[in-house]
Amino acid sequence: MVSQTHRLVAVSYLNTKPLLYGLLRNPISDHLQMDLAIPSECARRLVAGEADIALVPVAVLPELPHYEIISDYCIGTDGAVATVCIYGDVPLEEMTHLYLDHHSRTSVMLARLLLAEYWRHDITFLEARDGYINHINGPIGGLVIGDRSIGLEKRFAHVYDLGSAWKAHTGLPFVFAAWVTTRTLSSKFVADFNAALREGLDHLPQLQYLLPSPSPDFSLEHYFTHHIDYDLDDGKRRALDRFLSFVEAEMAVKG
């Protein structure tokens, strides 16, 4: 095993729990100083050098002068993701404004891409603050991600799953977050790290009994196995390249 301690920060959402479970029950945890945060804060810490390893929204990658994706596992989807959606009282084509969830730039950039390329709908974006979900009404829609989105499909008449839309637009799966480092890590550590993550995913059936469901009619088993796809395979890497090209173009326009 390794002797150095690495600072690790990971997304605090439900979809990360299987990966964290693997890290925590594995001896590698003795060599990790672990913390949890919302996706945007994970990204900030990695960019600021306050974390050695982070599960970060992939939209931050172009901001890093050098980085390495160190894991074969990610937070991804191959179709409907269920917890990254646009919600509204009216159909998307009737929305005039859209709140953009401040928790993750990846989801924000994905929404921008889909509105420009797939839905081809011009809309005014609004900066979201805490409590913004209560201001989604009439022609004002909202992008909501993560655990806060669970159950919102009962509250709003119209729901647009960004994972489904991306799949329909590109035919590809999608990567929301990846394990990234800006440091040089030993091949032994990376192998042990991946083995620990795999161990967590192998224990999904047991983990479902340990985690409380966020809603009585929300199936953890269905969410973990049908909506979240953890393998960072070739399809997701192609999708990542496609998405990052859009992010970099947007950054270039903004200067």
pLDDT by residue (tens digit) across 194-218?
Answer: 999 999 999 988 888 888 878 888 8
Residue 185 CA to residue 194 CA, distance in Å, equals: 13
Annotate 140-166 with b (16+ C-beta within 10 A) or e (fewer): bbbbbbbeebbebeeebebbbbbbbbb
Which of 119, 154, 170 corresponds to the end of one domain? 170
User: Does 125 lie in the same domain as 50?
Assistant: no
- pTM score: 0.93
Q: Name the residue with tokens 């161990």.
A: 199
Sign of CA dihedral 228, 180, 129, 88: negative
253 is a domain residue: no
Structural domain of 207? 6-75+174-232
Tokens 């009439």 correspond to what residue?
138
Residues 70 and 185 placed together within one structural domain of the fold = yes
Q: How many domains does the chain have?
A: 2
Question: 163 and 178 share a domain?
Answer: no
pLDDT digits (tens, 9 = 90+) for 40-89: 899 999 999 999 999 999 999 999 999 999 999 999 999 999 999 999 99
Q: What is the pLDDT of residue 119?
A: 98
Structure tokens at 100: 């953009």
Boundary of a domain, candidates 135, 150, 170: 170
